[in-house]
């Protein structure tokens, strides 16, 4: 598989868990290209190509706190799946669309409760609850927006968006969360 391979509507390792939400909804995945991080222009490269949590990165860039708006969710076998939009507190501008699979059983009860309350981003919860973890991006993505992503990010028309497929690991190298994070073109406007 080359870093420039374009794939449309199938299950992709770098689109998980987003691909699972699309399949459950009977939707076709938008066109997703796996790219190298250095192929992204700024500010996308600075916002996505790193091994840090997205929440503090986006809050620093936008100079505002962030909360989530959950679009869909389900729980099974100790995992919590959700699609969310991260929004600025000041005006609810969407700054990220994400699909995430969280291993609840690896988290302390307080963190689990906050996750299920669906208000705070995972990055805040992990920091506030003292959950040690590392962030390891597995792929960088170029996505052609579709109606679903446009609705989530309050966009019209087709847009080229950038994102990443990331995994958060605990100190024992167990995956805490699998995440697809997609930024809107408004990331260019602060």
What pLDDT is stored for residue 34 in this prediction? 96
- pTM, two decimal places: 0.90
Query: What is the Cα Rg of the chain in Å?
Result: 15
For 70-111, write each residue's pLDDT tens digit. Answer: 999 999 998 999 999 999 999 999 999 999 999 999 999 999
Q: Hey, what are 141's tokens?
A: 């993505």
What pLDDT is stored for residue 14 in this prediction? 86
What pLDDT is stored for residue 136 in this prediction? 96
Q: Tell me if 165 sits within 8 A of 186, measured CB to CB.
A: no
The CB density around residue 94, as the number of other CB atoms within 10 Å, is: 18
Question: Which residues pair with residue 182 across a beta bridge?
Answer: 97, 163
What pLDDT is stored for residue 189 in this prediction? 57
All domains in the chain, ordered by first residue: 36-115+125-133+146-188 (3.40.1410.10)
């Amino acid at each position: 598989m080359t870093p420039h391979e374009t794939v449309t509507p199938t299950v992709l390792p770098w689109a998980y868990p987003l691909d699972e939400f699309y399949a459950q909804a009977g939707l076709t995945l938008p066109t997703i290209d796996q790219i190298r991080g250095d192929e992204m222009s700024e500010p996308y490269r600075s916002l996505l190509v790193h091994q840090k949590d997205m929440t503090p990165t986006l809050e620093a860039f936008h100079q505002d706190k962030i909360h989530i708006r959950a679009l869909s969710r389900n729980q099974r076998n100790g995992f919590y799946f959700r699609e969310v939009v991260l929004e600025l507190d000041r005006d609810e501008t969407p700054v990220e669309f994400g699909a995430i699979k969280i291993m609840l059983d690896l988290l302390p009860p307080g963190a689990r409760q906050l996750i299920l309350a669906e208000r705070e981003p995972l990055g805040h919860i992990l920091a506030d609850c003292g959950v040690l973890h590392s962030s390891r991006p597995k792929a960088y993505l170029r996505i052609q927006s579709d109606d679903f992503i446009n609705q989530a990010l309050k966009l019209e028309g087709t847009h080229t968006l950038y994102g990443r497929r990331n995994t958060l690991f605990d100190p024992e190298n167990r995956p805490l969360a699998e995440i697809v994070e997609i930024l809107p073109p408004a990331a260019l406007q602060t």
